[in-house]
Amino acid sequence: MEKLIATSTVFYYITKKLQEELVGGYINSVQTIDDKVWKIKIHKKETKNLIVTEDICFLSSYKFPVDEIGGFEKYLKKKLDNQKIHEINQNENNRLIYFKLDKFYLIFEFFSKSNIILTDLDFKIITSKQKEEWKDRIIAKNHIYKFPQSTHILNYKEDINKEINGLPKVELIKYFSKKFNIAPVELNKLQKITVDSILKIYNISTPVLEIIENNYVVVKNNKHKMFFEDIEKIYLEKYTQKFTKKEDTKIKKIEKILNDQKEYKQELLDKIKETKQQGDLIYQYFSTIEQINNSINKALEKEVPTKEILEKINLALTNQNIELKIKKIDRKSKSYILFVK
């Protein structure tokens, strides 16, 4: 799946939805679906799953399987356990959402490389998923967290109409995207770009999130869909495929282990059979082996050359049609290797 880019307006509506659903709830688990996707369980009358990706966050009823948790996640889990959610805000028109908890602010940034930051209630950074630095902002331990510079048109008091009077559409798009961080894709949907038409973007009565052809996430009126429906579907499809593949790999690995065990078991059975046969032969030729032992010991005492001993004993065994043969004699340890022909 290609990277999805959620507009600032999308986060405006996501924030409102999360405020309705999660404020007053308690965080009771922090987990990772993979190294880029998080699942935060929040209990408020019932437990809800907040899925946080690099691009967007959404509530899901699906129980995404989780991966092994790492050091950063373990630390957050310990800090956030049973923390109550008091506020959820967007901050101006930035692509970020932050939670005010009992003791902390938990901040999710969905721009640049994306980041997860934990601060105290004075916005002093305690930890972050990754360190980052811009000319006016530093994301690192013990630094004060600063929100990106941005202004929301809903909070703007001046008369904008004077500033935009007579500007062509291209210039209007540049003006509003630069000054108020409104995505061009949102502005291009408008028949006429005016302050009033832009304000309507933030006043949709039944908003839902949808994916358009160029993979931007947009907000649209639709009474027949749940707010996060399309987003959940696309991620559900992605992760279902991912974990189906993972399970297939796991099954193949188990099958290989079982096959290896079967082969090893057969090898053991063959060795047991071979050992038994050898044992039977030793028993059968017990007196012959005793004679061989005596012959070799006497020859060694007389310092007969090893080669001569081997030739004489093996010739005698052959003449007697005995299916034994001496392969090697170790004079130092006074031992020899005997095998069945």
Give the domain ranges of the chain.
5-239, 259-340
Q: Give the per-residue pLDDT at 169.
A: 92
Percent of the chain with pLDDT over 90: 41
Residue 280 above 80 pLDDT? no
pLDDT at site 80:
96
Report the mean per-residue pLDDT for the chain: 85
The model's pTM? 0.70
Residue 3 half-sphere exposure toward CB, CA atoms < 13 A = 10
Residue 257 confidence class, pLDDT cut points 50, 70, 90: low
Q: Do residues 181 and 92 touch, judged by C-beta distance below 8 A?
A: yes
| 114 vs 324: which has the higher pLDDT | 114
Chain centre to alpha carbon of residue 54: 13
Query: Phi then psi for 19, rounded to 5 degrees?
Result: -60, -45
Compute the distance between CA of residue 125 and CA of residue 118 in angstroms, rounded to an integer: 6
Please report the pLDDT score of residue 268 as a whole number: 64
The pLDDT tens digits for 129-179 are: 999 998 889 999 999 999 998 889 998 877 888 889 889 999 999 999 999
Mean pLDDT of 206-227: 79
**Which CATH superfamily groups domain 5-239?**
ibrinogen binding protein from staphylococcus aureus domain (2.30.310.10)
Straight-line distance from the first to the last Cα atom of the chain, in angstroms, rounded to the nearest whole number: 66
Burial track 169-202 (b if 16+ CB lie within 10 A, e otherwise): eeebbebbbebbbbbebbbeebeebeeeebeebb
pLDDT exceeds cutoff 80 at 38: yes
In the chain, DSSP finds a helix count (H) and a strand count (E) of 9, 16
